[in-house]
Structure formats: C-alpha cells, structure tokens
C-alpha cells in the first residue's frame, strides 16, 4: 500500500485512463494522497503566433477542469497541470514532491520507441521511487 501516488495523465485519443485510476484506488492506503498530473508540452514560437491569444490559458483551464473531475472520483486526490517535456517534467515533479509510487500508462512500443524512447520508459529508467506501468 502506498501513501503518496503520482498518476501522470495523457489526454491523447488512444489513451485509456481507467486502468491507472483503478490501480491507484487499489494500491492507495485509506489516507493516501493521489496526484493526477498532466504535462502541457511547450508550443514552438513559430506555431504559437498562429493561435488565438487566449488559447493556452483556455486549454490549461479545460485540462484542469478534466483533472479535477477525475480527481473527484478518488479520495484525497488533486489534479495538477504543469508545462514542459513530458518525461523530464514528470521526473522533476516526482523529485520535488517525493511520491512513493508512480502509476503510468504505456502504449504498445513501436519502432520509433526503440530509437526515441517513450515517456513511460524514461520514467521507469530514471524515477527514484516504484513505478507501475499499465498497458
């Protein structure tokens, strides 16, 4: 059983968060703190100029609302939105907040993952705590 659980959340169409959410509920102690973390990737400068002025603020608010809705299904859970590169930002957040477990979803690896590495693979390799990967 774990007391401080980090669950990185991706809103990609092919991602199913039900497995990670269910596992967090199963592995959490009754007084556990669960954090649902979403990393907003930086948008390149050349692309941001073509987007509406309030795009980033509104997108961040929409993501936070979705995370809050998901967090409401777990006791003592909260949603957090940060910016940066997914793998590195998850690891940095974990270093600062010291979860004792990270539950992260992963897709079936393809050839591109052998060359570039996926977010889950990066977290597994470099996290200082236990990591449970859900497929």
Residue 119's domain comprises: 2-82+107-134
Give the pLDDT score at 109: 63
What is the count of structural domains for the chain? 1
* 95 domain residue, yes or no: no
Q: What is the sign, positive or negative, of the torsion defined by CA atoms of 109, 114, 115, 116? A: positive
Domain-embedded: residue 101: no
Q: What is the DSSP string of 27-94?
A: HEEEEEEEEEEEEEPPPPHHHHTTS-TTHHHHHHHHHHHHHHHHHTTSTTEEEEEEES-HHHHHHHHH
Q: Output phi, psi for 80, to 5 deg.
A: -135, 135
In a domain, 40, yes or no: yes
pTM value surpassing 0.85: yes
Q: What is the pLDDT of residue 15?
A: 73
CB atoms within 10 A of CB 101: 23
Is 98 within the bounds of a domain? no
CATH number of the domain that 18 lies in?
A: 3.40.50.620
Q: What is the pLDDT along the chain (135 residues), one digit of tens a residue?
A: 999 999 999 998 777 899 999 999 999 999 999 999 999 998 888 888 888 889 889 999 999 999 999 999 999 999 999 999 999 999 999 999 999 999 999 876 665 555 445 899 999 999 999 999 998
């Amino acid at each position: 059983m774990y007391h401080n659980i980090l669950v990185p959340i991706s809103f990609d169409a092919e991602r199913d968060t039900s497995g990670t959410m269910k596992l967090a509920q199963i592995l959490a102690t009754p007084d556990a703190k669960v954090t649902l973390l979403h990393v907003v990737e930086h948008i390149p400068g050349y692309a941001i100029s073509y987007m509406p002025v309030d795009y980033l603020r509104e997108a961040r608010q929409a993501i936070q609302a979705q995370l809050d809705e998901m967090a409401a299904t777990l006791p003592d859970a909260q949603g957090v939105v940060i910016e940066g590169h997914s793998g590195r930002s998850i690891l940095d957040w974990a270093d600062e907040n010291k979860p004792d477990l990270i539950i992260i979803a992963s897709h079936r690896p393809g050839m591109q993952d052998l060359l570039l590495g996926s977010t889950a693979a990066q977290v597994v390799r470099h996290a200082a705590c236990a990591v449970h990967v859900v497929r």
